[in-house]
Structure 1
Amino acid sequence: MRILHTSDWHIGRTFHGHSTMDALAEVLAALTAQVQENAVDVVVVAGDVFDSATPSGPAYTLLGDALVALHETGARVIMTSGNHDSAARLGFQARLLRDGIHVLTDPLAVGEPITIADADGPVHFFGIPYLEPAIVRQHWPEGDAEGRQLRTQAQTMAHAMHLVRVGMAQHSGRSVAIAHCFAAGVDATIGLEREVRQGGLDVVPLSVFDGPDYVALGHIHGRQQISERVRYAGAPLHYSFGEQHKPRGSWLVDLDADGLAGVEWLELPVPRRLVTLTGPLEEILSEANVAAHIDDWVCAIYTDAAPQAEPMRRLRESFPFCAMVQHQPEVVAEERERSYSQRLRAAVTDAERIDAFLEHVRAGHGPTETESRLIRAVLDDRVRAEALV
């Protein structure tokens, strides 16, 4: 059996205020072509189908179009909900979908597989929706196999995989588990979810996934091989500049009569490249940069000592797709090591204190000669005013 593992479509997400709907439609069309070309039997979508719990009308339309196109290739589709999805909204029409499209959002059904047979016998697909402990704890008040209350996602996922293994014991044959979580062993540089970056780490040990022939994971936006049979496919689009160097694609998984036979990476096209340009603003706006990146999404980090006037307007005149601008002045190493409090303690006069403040807020660059004259004139006026009181 041939399986295509994808995840984290995030239909409806914007990129710095720009819609990604057309770009995602283009990429999903390419993915559908790969399904056709590689004679894929089952497409697995491991959560975060939508970017919001309340998707817009066009988001539903794009999902419907993608599912219809995949179904027309002859492949079956198995989809689970992620933390960005509303399980109820994603799953409400599950029973109305045409044969061959399965949307799995019910925590109580994790031990009940979708079974698809090939020439080598049945393959059982166990779909685990995203499990928020505080929400799904009510479904398992008895706790885990040892009677402990489910308080963390790691505990909850461990219990869900226990139920999967019980289901595997009841259904002989090969098996695939689908889940949406943060697994131990993930490289933290490959494009983490916003919630993960903000500190919402609840790591699921790799041993939790023992048993199935393949485990298709979602939640991480870059491809990851945690083990030979436990992998993340990542998102099909770049959704942040932090992901710009990471390939986009999906895993093509082959199962033979004995289980996992091979895994191959299928690259997806990138509708518009992402690039980060760093240096003085005039250097970023050079003819060479403009010629090379005029059609790219651009993040500009300019290093001039002082903030420049209207940098985004100037950048967009040369880079129509400039999405982000940051001011990060270059700082002399020794000045960086010297703290603001140290400079303030060393100051004797008010003028020196103001100089220290300006150096602090300007990343080591103090007042210009004109500013120094103005500061001292103001201070002299204050002294004269105080003398008259």
Structure 2
Amino acid sequence: MKLLHTSDWHLGRSFHGVGTLAAQRRFADQLLATVAEEEVDVVLLAGDVYDRALPNVDVVNLFDDILARLNAAGVPIVITSGNHDSATRLGFGGRIMERAGVHLRTRIADLDTPVLFPLDADRPDGPQLAVYGIPYLEPRLVAGSLDAEPASHFSVTEAAVKLIRADLAGRAEGTAAVVLAHTFASGGITSASERDLAIGGVGAVPLDLFDGFTYTALGHLHGRQRLGEAVRYSGSPLPYSFSEAAHTKGAWLVEITEDGLKEVRRVDWPVERPLSVLRGKLPELLADPQWAAKEAHYCQVTLTDDDRPANAMEQLRTRFPHTLVLMFEPENARDADAKTYSQRVSAAVDELDLCCGFLDHVRHRPADDGEQGVLREALASVRAGEAAL
């Protein structure tokens, strides 16, 4: 049996103000093409179907279209909810949708109710594959229902896994077990587009919690990664932050037989417009031919010019029209022991010193004689105006 492990679709997400719905429709085509080409038996979606609890109509219609196309292809899908989803809304109609091959696992009550598939389609009465779903578990909300104390990500996930192990123990020998879980398992690598499940990594759960399962399909981290041979994150199908610029997006194709986990291999889904992170002085970025391949990319640019260039974004977009993020880090920035702006303000001896300190702070160089002259005239004008009132 072949499973396609995906997660973190984040349907409806924008990327620095740019809508991603067209890119997500393209991903849907890639997903369905992979299902057909690889003869996938079951699609797994380990949480964060949507980017928000209340997705708009176009986003819901896209998800509906994906489910309809999978149904037409005769391929079931097992879905858990993530921390971006509303578990209640996503799970609505789940018992009816089961009949169409859409298996939703968003409720505590369904933790130990697996979706069952025959490992060999030609032997429906033979060994089975049991797919369990652990949705994102908010400790404060579910600890009581799970008798998990103290309320923590570890305690509630451990309680959920115990329920699964108890159900699995009562099933026929040879039953393979796959667990979907939307969580932060220790050993993973975070990226900026994920919302922390807990502050300071406290929410991480240890990998050995999933020991003994045939395969664990994780969601939440957006980089595809292997934490163990049978414990993996598929990552998101599209990049959702510039920290993911080096990621190759895709999924895991998982093959399970009566003998256990046979093979796990990557499936890549190239993005239409890659991400690039550029750094340098504005004249060099605009002229250097080494950046030619980046001209059609979404770009995050850090300018290191000593003085902040005028109309920097407009100039950059003459060569890199898809620049979305612009930052400034002058090379002549003061040493770490330089005074903070608040220290400069408190130490200013007069208005001119205060104004010059501000210029020094934002430009990383002091005001020259000409600029100080302009500031003196401006301050004198203000004083004269105040005196005339």
Band the TM-score falls in, shorter-chain normalisation: 0.7 to 0.9
Q: Equivalent residues in 2 for 1:121-160 (5 A)?
A: 121-140=127-146, 143-144=147-148, 149-160=149-160
Deviation of the 1:219 alpha carbon: 0.4
* Aligned counterparts of 1:199 and 1:12: Cα–Cα separation in 2: 28
Moved more, 48-57 or 25-34: 25-34
Name the residue aligned to 1:161: 161
> Which amino acid in 2 is paired with 1:248?
K
Name the residue aligned to 1:386: none
Q: Equivalent residues in 2 for 1:1-389 (5 A)?
A: 1-97=1-97, 98-119=99-120, 121-140=127-146, 143-144=147-148, 149-172=149-172, 173-188=175-190, 190=191, 193-195=194-196, 201-286=202-287, 288=289, 291-331=292-332, 335-340=335-340, 357-362=358-363, 364-375=364-375
Deviation of the 1:313 alpha carbon: 3.1
Deviation of the 1:28 alpha carbon: 2.0
1:2-26 residue CA offsets vs partner (Å, 9 max, x unmatched): 1110000000001111110110110
1:252-275 residue CA offsets vs partner (Å, 9 max, x unmatched): 111121211221011111111111
Matched residue SS, 2:100: coil
* Aligned counterparts of 2:338 and 2:236: Cα–Cα separation in 1: 42
Structure 2 vs 1, CA of residues 218 and 99 (structure 1 numbering), >3 Å: closer, same or farther?
Answer: same
Matched residue SS, 1:71: helix
Matched residue SS, 1:285: helix
* Aligned counterparts of 2:37 and 2:375: Cα–Cα separation in 1: 71
* Aligned counterparts of 1:379 and 1:335: Cα–Cα separation in 2: 30
Deviation of the 1:289 alpha carbon: 6.7
* Aligned counterparts of 1:49 and 1:286: Cα–Cα separation in 2: 42
Structure 2 vs 1, CA of residues 103 and 381 (structure 1 numbering), >3 Å: closer, same or farther?
Answer: closer
Moved more, 305-314 or 174-183: 305-314
Matched residue SS, 1:253: strand
Matched residue SS, 2:39: coil
> Which amino acid in 2 is paired with 1:131?
L
* Kept after mapping to 1: 8 A contact 2:341/2:358: no
TM-score (norm 1): 0.87
* Aligned counterparts of 1:239 and 1:47: Cα–Cα separation in 2: 16
> Which amino acid in 2 is paired with 1:268?
W
* Aligned counterparts of 1:195 and 1:263: Cα–Cα separation in 2: 28
* Aligned counterparts of 1:62 and 1:341: Cα–Cα separation in 2: 49
Deviation of the 1:380 alpha carbon: 9.2
Name the residue aligned to 1:387: none
Moved more, 301-310 or 271-280: 301-310
* Aligned counterparts of 1:357 and 1:24: Cα–Cα separation in 2: 45
> Which amino acid in 2 is paired with 1:158?
E
For structure 2, which runs of at least 5 residues remain unmatched after alignment?
A: 121-125, 384-389
Name the residue aligned to 2:386: none
* Kept after mapping to 2: 8 A contact 1:222/1:234: yes
1:336-365 residue CA offsets vs partner (Å, 9 max, x unmatched): 4434489959x8965777655543333x32
Matched residue SS, 1:300: strand
* Aligned counterparts of 2:2 and 2:332: Cα–Cα separation in 1: 54
Deviation of the 1:314 alpha carbon: 3.2
* Aligned counterparts of 1:53 and 1:342: Cα–Cα separation in 2: 41
1:297-328 residue CA offsets vs partner (Å, 9 max, x unmatched): 12122222333333333333433322121222
Deviation of the 1:374 alpha carbon: 3.6
* Kept after mapping to 2: 8 A contact 1:182/1:201: no
Matched residue SS, 1:212: coil
Moved more, 19-28 or 273-282: 273-282
Moved over 4 A (4+): 196-201, 341-345, 347-357, 375-383
Moved more, 229-238 or 312-321: 312-321
> Which amino acid in 2 is paired with 1:60?
V
Matched residue SS, 2:335: helix
For structure 1, which runs of at least 5 residues remain unmatched after alignment?
A: 384-389
TM-score (norm 2): 0.87
* Kept after mapping to 2: 8 A contact 1:178/1:217: yes
Matched residue SS, 1:82: coil
* Aligned counterparts of 1:201 and 1:20: Cα–Cα separation in 2: 32
> Which amino acid in 1 is paired with 2:289?
A
* Kept after mapping to 1: 8 A contact 2:193/2:241: no
> Which amino acid in 1 is paired with 2:177?
S
* Aligned counterparts of 2:267 and 2:355: Cα–Cα separation in 1: 58
Matched residue SS, 1:12: coil
Matched residue SS, 2:196: helix
* Aligned counterparts of 1:53 and 1:310: Cα–Cα separation in 2: 38
> Which amino acid in 1 is paired with 2:215?
Y
Matched residue SS, 1:171: coil
* Kept after mapping to 2: 8 A contact 1:290/1:319: no
* Aligned counterparts of 1:207 and 1:121: Cα–Cα separation in 2: 25
Matched residue SS, 1:185: coil
* Aligned counterparts of 1:381 and 1:24: Cα–Cα separation in 2: 57
Structure 2 vs 1, CA of residues 282 and 117 (structure 1 numbering), >3 Å: closer, same or farther?
Answer: same
